[in-house]
Amino acid sequence: MDSLSAASLCPSAGSQLSPDEMKLLAKLEEQNRLLETDSKSLYSVSGVLQSPTSPKTLSEDDIWGHVIKEWDDWSKRKVGQIKVLIRRGVPAHLRPVVWQLLCDAQNVSVSQHYSDLLKSSCPAETLIHRDLSRILPQHQLFQKLRDATCQEPLLNVLKAYAVLDREIGYCQGSVFIVGLLLTQMAEEEAFCVFVRLMKDFRMRELYRSSMVELGCCIYQFDSMIQEQLPELHSHFQTQGFHTSMFSSSWFLNILLSSLPITAAMRTFDIFMCEGLEIVFRVGLAVLHMKQTELIKLDIEGMMNCLQNLESWESDPDGMIEAAYQIKYNSSRMKQLRKEYTSIKTKELEDQEELNGLSSENEHLKQRLDLLEKRCSEQLVSQMKKELEKSLRNAARSQNTLKEMQTNTLQIEESSSTVPDENSVMYLQTELISCRLREAEALTGLKELKQHIKDLVKKWQWQQVHCGGQQKVSSAQNDLQVELLSARLKEALTQAALKESHHKLLQLQTEDKIHSDKLKRTEAHINSQRDHLRELTSQHQDLCSQLQQSRQQFSALQYKIQILSKSTTSFSQTTLKPSTSASLEHNDT
């Protein structure tokens, strides 16, 4: 680094004031050195520079004049020389032309639509408006645009692009690029160049909504720091200072917002020719230059240091030179890109998996909620059913209770109709006494019969005995026989009496039963009579009603007759006799 800065002193000092020869010599030396570092350069610039005229009279402007005049040829066959020339810096007054040539802005197919684009509206317009109104006025880029009227072209270009490229729209970093372009050229030209930059210079990818390209650039840049400035990189890591913290805007703005204007212009010259590589180179050169300073700083100090790169202002040539001292290996960059892509893919897959899992989780939660809800609903409905059931049960038991109550009432009623205990007792004793009487009567009968039998035996014995003593007292015998027969008759009569007495008792009971029956029947008859009486009264009511209805009916009939008569008389007066007749017929 020290040797580099010492060497850079020479050409930068020479280019300011020294005579033509010195100037040219210095330039050639510088070019040679640059070519050595640039392996892609195929042509020697010195030959080109010397070819048209004598080297002594050849000025910077002459060379550029020649290049611009024969641009097609140069751009096809002398790319290396163009690169060398541009690394030396495009003369300020030629920048508008050179930049347009470099990105082939004349052949942008959309240029004719520019006015149409301005007429349409786009959603980003309000954001652009707001952003423009607050852009740091002291930024060198916008000194000319500080006026509100001068901001219009900036707004127009940004808006036109946002309309043209709906996918990218407006990105906040782009304002610096468009601002820089507008310091060099007219609105529409700036628009064309911007379109080219976006399309062909990876800018579109950088600004794309996912910013994967920016992530890739940062990854590559971080790897470069790690490889080329390992000490600084480890300091960054211990401080928790991530490369993206300072380099995001470097890439998105092509260092325009960080570098002083002259250095920014020089960087942009090279960017227009060679693309984003210069940002890596200048960025790493800055870190290289400031390494010793940065290592002493904490995160805040480093951030401040890297955002303010004013110290480069005095020496843009030195900066470019330092940038080309940086090792930049295209194949390594490609490799890093691959690494980044695989990391990103892995991350994306992980994220997708995570998303999938979280959405699944969400889904499951929802299901759980649903199930819980359903479960509770089921529970509720079940409870409801149970409630209904128990209510029904309650009603049923109430009904049965009522039934029971009515039953009890009935039973009570019926029990009141049943004769009371006393009467039952009375009847039972009556029955027992009846039976006793019966048994008494029967035993009396048996005794009497036995007595009769004894008497008959006695009588027979007497008859046998009397055969021998007939002579003694036939007359006495006769009397005795008579007595016996009389006694027999008496006994028989007594038995008959008892029997008839018994029969009388029986008859008396029967009579009692019958009289009871009679009483009940009478009561029934009485109730029937009452009913009959009611019915008759009803019948009479109905009859009277009928009578009334008949009267009403007859009254109505009478009215109808009157009406029909009046109708007849009326029709006879107005209608033909035949019609009236038919009417009469109808009425009847």
Partner 1 sequence: MDPQDDSFDFLFKIILIGDSNVGKTCLVQSFKTSQFCERQQNTIGVDFTVRTLSIEGRRVKMQVWDTAGQERFRTITQSYYRSAHGAMIAYDISRRATFDSLPRWIHELKQFGAANVLTALIGNKRDLEAEREVQFEEACKLAEAKGLLAAVETSARDAWSVEEAFVMMARRLLMQNDTSVADDHTHAVMLRSNSHTVSLTSASSADEKKPCAC
By CB under 8 A, name the binding residues for partner 1. 127, 130-131, 133-137, 139, 171-173, 175, 207-212, 214-215, 240, 242, 244-245, 248-249, 252-253, 257, 296-301, 303, 307
Least distance between partner 1 and beta carbon 176 (Å): 9
Which C-beta is closer to partner 1: that of 66 or that of 139?
Answer: 139
Report the amino acid identity of residue 515.
S
Decide if 517 contacts 470 (C-beta within 8 A).
no
Distance CA 312, CA 250 (A): 15
459-466, long-range: CB < 8 A, 24+ apart: 459/484
Which C-beta is closer to partner 1: that of 15 or that of 244?
Answer: 244
Distance CA 388, CA 313 (A): 92
Least distance between partner 1 and beta carbon 190 (Å): 20
Least distance between partner 1 and beta carbon 124 (Å): 10
For residues 268-295, b (16+ Cβ closer than 10 Å) or e, as one string? Answer: bbbbbbbebbbbbbbbbbbbbbbeeebe
Distance CA 452, CA 455 (A): 5
Distance CA 142, CA 187 (A): 15
Which C-beta is closer to partner 1: that of 304 or that of 382?
Answer: 304
Distance CA 460, CA 466 (A): 9
Which C-beta is closer to partner 1: that of 74 or that of 241?
Answer: 241
Least distance between partner 1 and beta carbon 140 (Å): 13
Least distance between partner 1 and beta carbon 209 (Å): 5
What letter does residue 139 receive in the DSSP assignment? S
Which C-beta is closer to partner 1: that of 122 or that of 171?
Answer: 171
Least distance between partner 1 and beta carbon 233 (Å): 17
Decide if 300 contacts 323 (C-beta within 8 A).
no
Would you state the structure tokens that stand for residue 453, as one six-digit string? 């039998």
Least distance between partner 1 and beta carbon 207 (Å): 7
Which C-beta is closer to partner 1: that of 348 or that of 425?
Answer: 348
Which C-beta is closer to partner 1: that of 300 or that of 490?
Answer: 300
Least distance between partner 1 and beta carbon 246 (Å): 8
Decide if 318 contacts 265 (C-beta within 8 A).
no
Least distance between partner 1 and beta carbon 241 (Å): 10
Which C-beta is closer to partner 1: that of 21 or that of 147?
Answer: 147
Which C-beta is closer to partner 1: that of 126 or that of 506?
Answer: 126
Degrees, nearest 5: CA angle 546-547-550: 85
Other Cβ atoms within 10 Å of 364 Cβ, number: 10
DSSP string covering 252-305: HHTTTTTS-HHHHHHHHHHHHHHTTHHHHHHHHHHHHHHHHHHHT--HHHHHHH
